[in-house]
Structure 1
Amino acid sequence: MRILAYLLFTISVIMLVSCEKNNDDDVYSYDLSVTGDTTNVFSETGEEREYILQLISIPKITPEQAEIILKSSDIDFKSEHNRFSVSDSVIIDNTIRLKIKCNENIVSDTIADRIDIVIVGPDLTINTSFYLSQAGSDIRYEYKIVSEYMSDFTIPNEGGVFKIPIKCSRIKYLNSKYVLEEPCSLSGIRYKSSIVNAAWVHRDRIYSGVNPGDYVIELNASQPFNIDGKFSWWVGLFSNNISIYNLNIFHNQTPGEEYFIGTSSFFKSEILQ
């Protein structure tokens, strides 16, 4: 009986030592799971979201052990193209809780970026990443024309060549908010001219000035005139078929047969370069 008891005790000790040895020799593998919205795009006006990174271990370890491992490791967060920022990271048990933020998108395209997470410690090395994207913003431009003559201009009866200076600027709106106003060219803007009941007497053109945004509309009425019927003349600037400037030109007729001319009508429409 004593011999049997001794043998049982010896076997128990051997088994205990063997179990402890196996635990010490276990090879642990680690990974991170991400909890949070990585599917829907961030708002174009800027947004902040919370994420939870959970340390997963095989074989499984306790949350307390995971916290020790995480706190003894170097943890680095990086937004590959600096579109997003990571802040307020805190380790609780086997999780890393953090906030990811993006500022207002200043372009109309959807932007995407990769969030890289690197954890390096005595017992583990983890490299993982996930992608986030942000919606493109609504960018709108509004053209503004300023001139001494914003609606009407009257040519004296004797005619002549007249130069109408105008200044063009463009106002930028980002997500319906005013951003800036700056001088701009009229490239891409449509210039229209309509002359009804005239001949070679009346002509017009537009050309750029010295400074950015400066233009001149030149009106040429070469002589007094007299016609049968009514005369009308206007010039205008259009952005996407929306009028941004319109000038009605008046040139009173001069009575007398010597000023009589035959009539024709002209219409001009061109995209400015």
Structure 2
Amino acid sequence: MSLAIRRNSVLPGFGLTLGYTLVYLGVIVLLPLAVLILRASSLGVSGLWHIATEPRIFAALKTSFSLALAAAAINVVFGGVVAWVLSRYEFPGRCLLDATVDLPFALPTAVAGISLAAIYAPNGLIGSLIAPLGWKIAYTPLGIVVALVFIGLPFIVRTVQPVIVELESDVEEASATLGATRLQTIVRVILPTLTPALLTGFALAFARGVGEYGSVIFIAGNLPFVSEIAPLLIIVKLEQFDYAGATAIATLMLAASFFILLTINLIQAWSRRRFGHV
């Protein structure tokens, strides 16, 4: 008859850590969201629908979500390439380039917005080069995309990079030995392995982009129905002491973000089951 031996652990047990986790998440995350939803519920469904369908608010919500999705999609492609280069190649200045990726995390968003606006303005370093072509980046929706790509890039790189490091190069060599082309190796061997990480990075970059304010406000132009973002409308409502309107917009953003992130997480879970053994 074998006796179960209880092992002592330096770390606290499951009960204590679970209790701490629930209390911490409840106070820091769930409680503020519950208060937000509770205040918005005072408007009723009809009141929320009326605010959501206001032309200016609807346009701002559309701008925030569509451009955040576009920026996250751009980062999936180019951020994945950056992560691949930093993980698979050795070259002079690699450590410096690797550290540069984290700058959007450390740089104040307002500073980033001012810098981007100065560079991409019609008289800026890059804006002056494309102005003769009739193109304009700053103070347009394209400027918002640039800002969101800037702040979202680290999420893709830092999420995908560890997976690339763990991906054995022998798999790629075996694929080439079996006669696969480079494109076939990328599509059938590499991408299935990186898909869950890419989706995670996409979700993080999108979530950051939807609520971004500081880096966007200076380069957006803030023109209603053109380049006005939803977070700016929340600030405007608060300055007008319209707390109900600000709460309603925030609740609509929360609901839409939750739905989109839930969809992405479901796709991510499916991709892990589908490609988990690739």
**TM-score normalised to structure 2 length:** 0.18
Q: Greater CA radius of gyration, 1 or 2?
A: 1
Higher relative contact order (CA 8 A, sep 6+): 2
Give the number of the structure whose residues are more often strand, by fraction: 1
